[in-house]
Structure 1
Amino acid sequence: MIQLRKASERGHANHGWLDTWHSFSFADYYDPQHMGFSVLRVINDDRIAPGAGFPTHSHRDMEIITYLLQGSLAHKDSMGNGSVIRPGEIQRMSAGSGISHSEFNASESEEAHLLQIWIEPKENGITPSYEQKSLPVAGNNAQLNLLASPDGQDGSVIIHQDVRLYATHLQEHGEVAYSLPAGRRAYLHLARGKLKLNGLELEAGDGAKILDENINILSTEAGSEALLFDLP
C-alpha cells in the first residue's frame, strides 16, 4: 500500500528570511492526520535567505539530520562543534539529554536549501553527540546510498534508532529498486525532479508512506533526487 501526499498539501510558512514546508505537524502547523510516520517525526523543507538563520535554541531527545540541497549552512553548538555543511555531506546531531545550537546560512549572497529531519530515538536521555560526513551521491544512476544507520554501515552517520536513511540521484531514465523487509515500513521524500514509485507519479516535495511493497523508483524527464527511510 502506498499513501501519496502532494507537496502542496504540506504545512507552509513564509517568514521572509525563511520559507518552509512541513511534511508533518511542526511549530504553528498542526494536523492530527500528519503527526509523523513510525519514528519519523519531522521533514522540514527549508529555504533560508543569505546571512539569515536560527539563533541559538535548545533540543532534547531527538535525532536531527540535516541534508543540504543547495548552498551552505553554518552550525555551532554547546558541545563546541562549529562547522559548515554543504551538498554532498550529511550532519547528525543527537540531542539526547539536551543541547543548544544555532544554524545560519553561511553565504551572504546565495540562498540555502535544506531538509531538516527529526527521528525519535530508541532511548531518551542519552549523551548528546554530533557527526558530519562527506557522502557524495551525485551521478549514481542505479543505487541507493546509505546516509544514516544504527550501526554506521558503509560509513554512514550513526543514529540511535532502528532506521536506515538512503539517498538516490537518478539521471534520465535511471531506475533503482529496494526490497522492503517484512514487517518494515518506508517513507519516500522526493527532494527534486520527478519520478515514479511503482508506477505512481511524484513531483518535487511529494511524500509517500509505503507498507508491504517492493519499491521501484524510475526517474522521468531530467532525473530526480530522493530520500528513502526504512522504518520500524
Structure 2
Amino acid sequence: MRLIHSDGYSGFSLSLFHGRQIPPYAILSHTWGADDDEVSFEDLSQYSGLHWAEKPGYKKLQFCARRAAAHGLQYFWVDTCCINKSSGPELSEAINSMYRWYQGAARCYVYLSDFEMRGSNLGSKDWKRLRNSRWFTRGWTLQELLAPQSADFYDATGKHLGDKNTLSRWLSDTTGIPVAVLRDRNWRHNSVEEILSWAQHRQTKREEDGAYSLLGIFDISMSLIYGEGRDKAYRRLFKKIE
C-alpha cells in the first residue's frame, strides 16, 4: 500500500508499505474531476510540485493533509496519486484491496467538492442541494461509504457536515441503504438483490467498473479485464458470488 506523507508545508512524498508495516493512515473519499485536473502518481513521483500544485486536485491533498495532521496521523491515501495506474498488476491489486483499505483507515474524509454549506449549520435548502452532490451518484463511493468504521463529511471549503453515524438517517433516505447497515457495517442478512439495488443508479467512467466496484462489498476477488464490457463483468461477478 502506497501512502502520502506531508512535510507540514507544501511538500508531499510517497512511501510504500506492506502488511503489518502499514502505519495508521487517513483515507480520502471524493469524486474525480478531469484526469488532467487531478494530481497523479506520476506527478508525485517525478515532477516538481511547482507543476502540479496548480492543479485543482491539489486542493484535495492539502485538505486531507490538514485533516490527517489534526487527527495526529502522519500518512494518508488518495486514489488519484497512490496507485500507479500504468501498471496493470498494481491496478488490479489496488481495486481488489480497496475495500480493505477503506475498512482499515483510522479516519475517512468524504470531500464534497461540488457542495458548499451557506451558513454555520445545514439549513433546509442545504439538505436539498447536498442530496444532489455527485458523490452520491458514483459507483466507487458506495464501498467508500460502507467500508469505514466512520466517515466524516466535509464541504468544498472544509466545513464539517457530520459523520456517517450522525447523518445515518439522512444518508439512508438518500441512498436507500438501511440505517442498521450504515451503523453496523453488516449486510450478511441482506439479499444480493437488495445490495445490488444500492448500486443500481450509480455510474462509473468505465463500464466494467460497475461490477469491479462491488468486489469488496461481496468479499470476493476477481481479475480485471477492461474491454470485456459491462455484461461479461457482471456475469463473472455473479458467478463468483454464487
Structure 1 and Structure 2 fold alike (TM over 0.5): no
Larger Rg: 2
For normalisation by structure 1, the TM-score amounts to 0.34
- Greater fraction of residues in strand: 1
- Greater fraction of residues in helix: 2
For normalisation by structure 2, the TM-score amounts to 0.33
